């Protein structure tokens, strides 16, 4: 039996009676869905949830374990995740994503509140190595500069614009060097949410030097 299921949109609502986190609901769903052959043909996935303003939500699962079942969908190309707790995803999750989604073209990961992610710029190196068709990227990260030696042979020329979330940026110039080493064609960094002054400085430096300039 063939299955041509390609697109899935999931809206997660918190269980207000049980005060269960929506990721807990999603984790239960994945235990069933990702055993179905449809997971092999799924190319487009969007997951979002309502904002939760209560603080006593119970049963909040680990973000990595809740989203890890997505690695069982090898054909994924377009991924859009907008959830609380995704700021808890770290570089190990990116490494798993890179190994699981070689056809990845668009990746957008956004938290619903302004916190600094545990993912770093260096964490995207496996994604750049293993996902050559990637051309659209949005994320919240801990924007620490990357050792230039780690960027040899890594550059992705398809990504020209990225959207970013909150981050503490101590050295905008070094962050720009890292971004251009990773994305040689990059010309626009668009902050979203409460980004603080750091990304604005990064954008100004990027516009000043242009994508064809070299920092060496």
For the stretch 45-76, pLDDT in tens is 998 876 554 444 555 667 888 888 899 999 99
Q: What does the mean pLDDT of the chain come to?
A: 82
Note whether residue 1 is domain-resident.
Answer: no
Task: Check residue 2 and give its pLDDT.
Answer: 60
Q: How far is CA 112 from the centre of its chain?
A: 13
Note whether residue 102 is domain-resident.
Answer: yes
Least confident of 11-20, 29-38, 171-180: 11-20
Task: Check residue 214 and give its pLDDT.
Answer: 43
Note whether residue 214 is domain-resident.
Answer: no
Would you say residue 81 has pLDDT above 60?
A: yes
Task: Check residue 179 and give its pLDDT.
Answer: 93
Distance from C-alpha of 21 to C-alpha of 16, rounded to nearest angstrom: 9
DSSP string, 148-195: GGGGTTT--SS--EEEE-----S-HHHHHHHHHHH-TT--EEEE-SS-
Note whether residue 31 is domain-resident.
Answer: yes
User: pTM score, two decimals?
Assistant: 0.84
Note whether residue 2 is domain-resident.
Answer: no
Task: Check residue 170 and give its pLDDT.
Answer: 82
- What's the CATH number where 40 sits? 3.80.10
Would you say residue 87 has pLDDT above 70?
A: yes
Asked whether 62 and 27 are in contact (CB, 8 A), the reply is no
Note whether residue 70 is domain-resident.
Answer: yes
Q: What is the pLDDT of residues 115-144, one digit of tens each?
A: 667 889 999 999 999 999 999 998 888 888
Note whether residue 194 is domain-resident.
Answer: yes
Task: Check residue 19 and give its pLDDT.
Answer: 47
Distance from C-alpha of 6 to C-alpha of 40, rounded to nearest angstrom: 9
Domain range for 200:
7-209
Distance from C-alpha of 10 to C-alpha of 12, rounded to nearest angstrom: 6
Would you say residue 162 has pLDDT above 50?
A: yes
Task: Check residue 147 and give its pLDDT.
Answer: 92
Band the pLDDT of 85: cuts 50, 70, 90.
confident
Count of the separate structural domains present in the chain: 1
Distance from C-alpha of 215 to C-alpha of 164, rounded to nearest angstrom: 22
Would you say residue 1 has pLDDT above 60?
A: no
Residue 76 CB burial class (10 angstroms; 0-12, 13-18, ≥19): buried
Would you say residue 96 has pLDDT above 90?
A: yes
Sequence-distant (≥ 6) Cβ neighbours of residue 119 within 8 angstroms: 89, 90, 91, 93, 94, 109, 139, 140, 141, 142
Give the dihedral sign, CA 135/178/120/55: negative
Band the pLDDT of 197: cuts 50, 70, 90.
low
Least confident of 154-168, 177-191, 200-214: 200-214
CA neighbor of 132 nearest in space, from 92, 159, 164: 159
Task: Check residue 134 and give its pLDDT.
Answer: 97
Task: Check residue 53 and give its pLDDT.
Answer: 45
Q: How far are the Cα atoms of 2, 48, 141 from residue 198, in angstroms, in the given order?
A: 50, 27, 13
Sequence-distant (≥ 6) Cβ neighbours of residue 62 within 8 angstroms: 88
Note whether residue 106 is domain-resident.
Answer: yes
């Amino acid at each position: 039996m063939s299955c041509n299921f390609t697109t899935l949109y999931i809206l997660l609502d918190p269980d207000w009676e049980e005060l269960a986190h929506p990721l807990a609901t999603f984790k239960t769903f994945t235990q069933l869905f990702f055993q179905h052959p449809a997971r092999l043909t799924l190319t487009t996935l969007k997951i979002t949830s309502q904002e939760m303003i209560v603080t006593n939500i119970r049963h909040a699962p680990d973000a990595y374990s809740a989203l890890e079942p997505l690695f069982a969908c090898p054909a994924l190309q377009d991924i859009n995740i907008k959830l609380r707790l995704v700021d808890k995803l770290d570089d190990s999750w990116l490494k798993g994503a890179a190994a699981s989604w070689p056809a990845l073209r668009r990746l957008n990961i956004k938290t619903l509140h302004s916190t600094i992610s545990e993912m770093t710029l260096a964490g995207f190196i496996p994604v750049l190595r293993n996902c050559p068709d990637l051309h659209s990227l949005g994320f919240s990260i801990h924007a620490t500069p990357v050792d230039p030696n780690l960027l040899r042979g890594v550059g992705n020329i398809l990504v020209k614009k990225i959207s970013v979330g909150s981050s503490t940026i101590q050295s905008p110039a070094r962050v720009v060097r890292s971004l251009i080493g990773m994305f040689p064609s990059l010309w626009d960094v668009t902050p979203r949410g409460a980004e603080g002054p750091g990304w604005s400085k990064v954008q100004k430096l990027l516009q000043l030097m242009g994508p064809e300039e070299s920092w060496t």
